[in-house]
Structure 1
Amino acid sequence: MYAFDIERPTRLTDAVKLLSDATDSQPLGGGQTLIPALKARLAAPERLVCLSAVDEIKGICTADDGALCIGGGTCHADVAAGAGAYPALASLAANIGDPAVRNRGTIGGSLANNDPSSCYPAAVLGSGATVVTTNRKIAADDFFEGMFTTSLEEGEIITEVRFPVPEKANYQKFEQPASRFALVGVFVAKYADGVRVAVTGASEDGVFRWSEAEAALSSDFSAGAVEGLSLSGDGMISDMHGSGDYRAHLVGVMTRRAVAAAG
């Protein structure tokens, strides 16, 4: 590690002010992605603005339009316990990492860092959710811009994520045993106007929608509808845990399992 300052505001307005200072500052949620990045020198801010004491961005509620609203500072364990209106999302949160990770990591931090193997990006993109920040509302399709990259601007904080609740949904992931990150994870959600399929862990460009599977499942929501569909291994992550072709194959397997479980 290296020397840096840390601030721990208790109000959102104070956090925004600290991040807008001339000092090179970065928000810190639960630290489950950022702290390892600091250790590896992949990030080196002069100051961290810890959001763990900002209670106004925590909690879960249901909006008048039926959307499930989750505060950006809400930890994974609380999502698992409190997102009963969206069972697939609660199940996803309950299977992130281990108890220590689930009680520290936050949904806002996970989305802001956009780790290519994290689970929440698949849920947000697969649900067509809206990411609410201190400045604006961002549609899921406009939020993710590539591996570790989002449309967030400097000093912008995720305050809430709004999930439209689908008719059916499920998330399936093939875990890397040591890290428990998703080697490949697929989130499938069926809405009245169609099906969304989001894939995490596989692509060098980060989370993405599998449009071919979406079209097939919108016509026939069954595991058989995606039988025979396949993705190319080109552009997929290839490392010691699996080749690009292997990950492409797993996308199909996990999609069929998610559809079967949701149905």
Structure 2
Amino acid sequence: MRIAMWSGPRNLSTAMMRSFGARADCAVLDEPFYAAYLAKSGIDHPMRADVLASQPYDPEVVARNLLGPVPGGSPVWYQKHMPHHMLPGFPRDWFAACRHAILIRAPERVAASFDAGRPRPTLEDLGAPQMDGVIADIESATGRTPPVIEAEDVRANPEGMLRALCAALDIPFDARMLSWPSGPRASDGVWAAHWYKAVVASTGFAPPSVSTPKLAPYLAEVAARARPGFERLRARKLKPL
């Protein structure tokens, strides 16, 4: 089974990849379209040259790889994807081969966290306007509406939310998903050196945040524009089991 998890950046997405990577039956893949997105868009990101050197950046090649053999022959292949990486014209025929899910996080927290790693993000940098199009393409390809989970729910109740997600994806829950050894992974993208410091040090999901970030006006505007789409998805998020 191929699982495509879609989220914007700074959405607990790497910790979720760690969680699935802790399963005995699962291989993981970190943002396979990142280099293709950078090459096509021309956008400047931290470690841009390293990312381009580390992955194929022809989107057709990336899509073929996603339909190819699963690393290590694992029964489950968890793929971490971001909606803004799927630029117009990038192939989506591989969507039909996957089970999909959506991971969301309050846009105020996303904006603040992204700004710390790459200042002054736009709404498009956070993947907010692209998510609806990706979901529509998923529904067209699979005939299924992908389940939605919220990052703070996972942090507050990891087992309950992971049980709900596994049930929605029709895979058994594995208690090993609740913790993992600290340290880097060979499966991490080369960009881990810039973005993954907290996750590399982690051994499980951090407790939920108790404070609301104070945003500069330019970040508050981006978060406010992302809020309607977040609320639409939040209205149908999974409840813990």
TM-score, reference length from structure 2: 0.27
Specify which structure has the bigger relative contact order, considering alpha-carbon pairs within 8 angstroms and separated by 6 or more residues.
2
Larger-Rg structure: 1
Greater percentage in helix: 2
Q: Which has more strand, going by share of residues?
A: 1
